[in-house]
Structure 1
Amino acid sequence: MKFTLFLILLIACVTSTQVSASEGWYFGLTIGESPLVPIGPYPNRAECADMAGSGLYSHPWRCHLGYPQCEITGNGFFYPKDYSYPVPDDAPIQFTNCFRADSATTPHQNWGWYFLFYTPTEVSIQRCRNYDEYAALADTVTGDEIANYSDMRCPGAPCFSVGFDTACE
């Protein structure tokens, strides 16, 4: 009887401390007056923040390992190649810090590789397998741009990961 009661209490404690499978961590992007595009889910705030930080700023890989002399080398993978650095506070592309949300009601991406595509009025997140198609649009349609991944040695470059952390910008 005591063992059964202990087991019931243990299960209750474990299930009450677990994060719901439908919850996740997101960061968001918007351009101008367009709606916020949530990017995620990531399994925890740390992975979300690491990917978001690499989206904001490019930096050597050693920064992820805690080495000193970690410097920002330019814009991260949120921004098109010709975007000014540092990004002005009033820039059209705006970022929101990581937030926790219900994946069942928040637009989200499946685990995998993505890139950002910009038109003059909106931002969208696209599957990496469609990169060539969108690169052709960016080359031919005025105002269409693909976010730039400056370090092509990064895993998955020119795309970034959603659902897991591989940031090395």
Structure 2
Amino acid sequence: MAFTLFIGRLLFASFFILSAYQLYQEFGTDGGPAVKVIEQKLNVFTKLITSKVGIKVPGVDTKHVVATMIVLQGLGGVGFIFGSYLGAILLVLHQLMFTPVLYDFYNYDAEDTEFGLLFSKFTQNMALLGAALFFIGMKHSISLRKSRKIPKAKTS
């Protein structure tokens, strides 16, 4: 059973680790091609937040955003493989911070081809978020169950 759990965590985390590795390999001195894509999406997202909520989002260097993605995916994925609660938290943070920015289906009409592709990727990432949250919940409930066990006093 423990081996099966390890393989499941390994397969789940491989998505994040391979993505972080690819971003790292392409990073270079200018941040790689991810910077150009994320910069456009981040600008659209910040304009949307500003127009809907009325809060001005501070400017962020996109290279730092990509570096943050690499760190959250890499460390979170490796931690998740070994059953770390912190690793799962890092993956949840990554999903919460970057999924709405990267997969902005809400900026397209339902008839556009981009809408279908982006919505599909968005829902896949929400499923990954749900799996990480499930892992955190199970870890928490197991630790609560262990702390509630009171050893019985032995009588002679």
Compute the TM-score of the two structures, normalised by the length of structure 2.
0.27
Structure (1/2) with the larger helix percentage? 2
**TM-score normalised over the length of structure 1:** 0.26
Structure with the higher fraction of residues in strand conformation: 1
